[in-house]
Structure 1
């Protein structure tokens, strides 16, 4: 099993996920490949509760596609270099000053996901992934009713197992059911 600190490779625990790490390709807001591989790592507990959510979705006829999970600090720094705007990209932490940790991609305690049907076709959601507009918000009413319904269903299941949705991005979920761990720069 591939492990690094608290991180585990998700497919080593359960291979029924669709892994499409957007930053392992140029198909993302940067237009550049940021990650070295499509290997999806996350905190062990985060992976375990994501598996619980996946099992609930599967009973309803859906699969989970993971678009981001653990992110090295260096990748966050690269994002900030490309788009230094606090409204869209989290400012990289000053590790010399950081004393308290919270759930983020930098410690593998966040996941960006969507749902597909059993063949892998994505369900309609309120916006595209990494849409930096109000349409990405779970609260935006200017999107399709079906997209909002699908996002609300995904949010309900994710929150039932221990995640908390981020209101400005329908795809982003924090693992709030475990103690945050230090941020890392393990390269994937």
Structure 2
């Protein structure tokens, strides 16, 4: 009986901290105890550090510096996380690409909800940032921003635009481009989609993992994971 009462109290404690103070009434996990409870109930909800699981993957975490559309650092640490099934799928993508001499470079993964709020406030073109009234797939740990690199040189393959571009050419179906650029973009897209990802229409670099709706919005900073 005491154990049952303790479980009820812990459940209520976690629930009490699972909603951030936002005007949209969204359920957002913003306390570590609530996050740990969700992982205990479903191990697939664990946020995995991508580099630790895939050591040969490259990182360039733009939002940990000023080389991004916001022109400011919004992360205290240059790290990338994603839910367990997302990381397992990325591992399969990386292994397939390696056979052809290519690899992945990650720009961003899991993004705390508070960062999405900040981005929406400062973005000049709101169509390129998630609306905080809905939250982002990044907030759920189910979206990845990335590109391809040549494993021999370490250089990025030529793509339609730089990362974070608001240009029309950033659209995943924009066709007025050199043939090699389209080929590179399609290699990335086809390989990612083969392993359960779907590209965002206006960002060739952004991929959502199937089943993202099964994961809660999160607002836990990297340093607490």
Q: Tell me if structure 1 keeps the 8 A contact 2:140–2:212.
A: no
1:13 offset after TM fit, Å? 1.1
Q: Tell me if structure 2 keeps the 8 A contact 1:8–1:44.
A: yes
Larger displacement relative to structure 2 (166-175 or 80-89): 80-89
Match of 1:74 among 99, 103, 114: 114
1:87 partner SS: helix
User: What is the Cα-based RMSD across aligned positions, in Å?
Assistant: 1.8
Larger displacement relative to structure 2 (5-14 or 106-115): 5-14
TM-score using structure 1 length: 0.89
TM-score using structure 2 length: 0.75
Number of the residue aligned with 2:185 = 151
User: What is the 5 A alignment of 1:34-183?
Assistant: 34-83=74-123, 85-93=125-133, 104-118=137-151, 119-177=153-211, 180-183=214-217
Match of 2:53 among 13, 36, 61: 13
Q: Tell me if structure 2 keeps the 8 A contact 1:162–1:177.
A: no
Structure 1, unpaired ranges of 5+:
96-102
Q: Tell me if structure 1 keeps the 8 A contact 2:149–2:155.
A: yes
Structure 2, unpaired ranges of 5+:
1-34, 40-45
Greater CA radius of gyration, 1 or 2?
2
Counterparts of 1:80 and 1:178 in 2: how far apart (Å)? 21
Counterparts of 2:102 and 2:58 in 1: how far apart (Å)? 11
**Matched residue count:** 179
With over 3 angstroms needed to count, the CA separation of the structure-2 counterparts of 1:181 and 1:60, relative to structure 1, is same
2:165 partner SS: coil
Runs of 4 or more consecutive aligned structure 1 residues displaced over 4 Å after TM superposition: none
